[in-house]
Amino acid sequence: MDENYIPERLAQLRTQKGLSARDMSLSMGQADNYINNIENRKSMPSMQNFLSICEFLNVTPREFFDEDNSNPVLLNELISELKPLNGKALENLLSLLLDLQGKIKNG
């Protein structure tokens, strides 16, 4: 992970949420160029502001830094919808997912 990670990840997650940098800045109670300055590597957020950014984006700090999770908000929404399902429904969905990915489930 390099110094470009935070600005790039912030831009990725903000874009997935469908917000402009200006709108996000203002919605967070910051100056209109706050997020733009972070994404353009002109400044870095304080720890408190970083946590506020994560909260605003609806991701945990761990999810923010999880390079293998390209869309944590959507993944969290999917998991929420899966939680109330019974075992058979989950097995069926897993089979469907593996089939969509071209994988074969053993067992």
Domain ranges, ordered by start, for the chain: 5-68, 71-107
What class, spelled out in words, does domain 5-68 have in CATH? mainly alpha
Residue 5 has pLDDT above 50, yes or no: yes
Q: Are 58 and 12 in contact (CB under 8 A)?
A: no
The mean pLDDT of 27-46, rounded to a whole number, is: 97
Q: State the average pLDDT for the chain.
A: 93
pLDDT of residue 102: 85
Q: Are 76 and 47 in contact (CB under 8 A)?
A: no
pLDDT of residue 106: 54
The mean pLDDT of 15-43, rounded to a whole number, is: 97
Q: Are 73 and 57 in contact (CB under 8 A)?
A: yes
What is the Cα–Cα distance from 28 to 33, expressed in whole angstroms? 11
What is the Cα–Cα distance from 44 to 4, expressed in whole angstroms? 11
> pLDDT-derived band of residue 107, with 50, 70 and 90 as boundaries?
very low
The mean pLDDT of 79-93, rounded to a whole number, is: 94
Q: Quote the pTM value.
A: 0.76
Residue 93 has pLDDT above 80, yes or no: yes
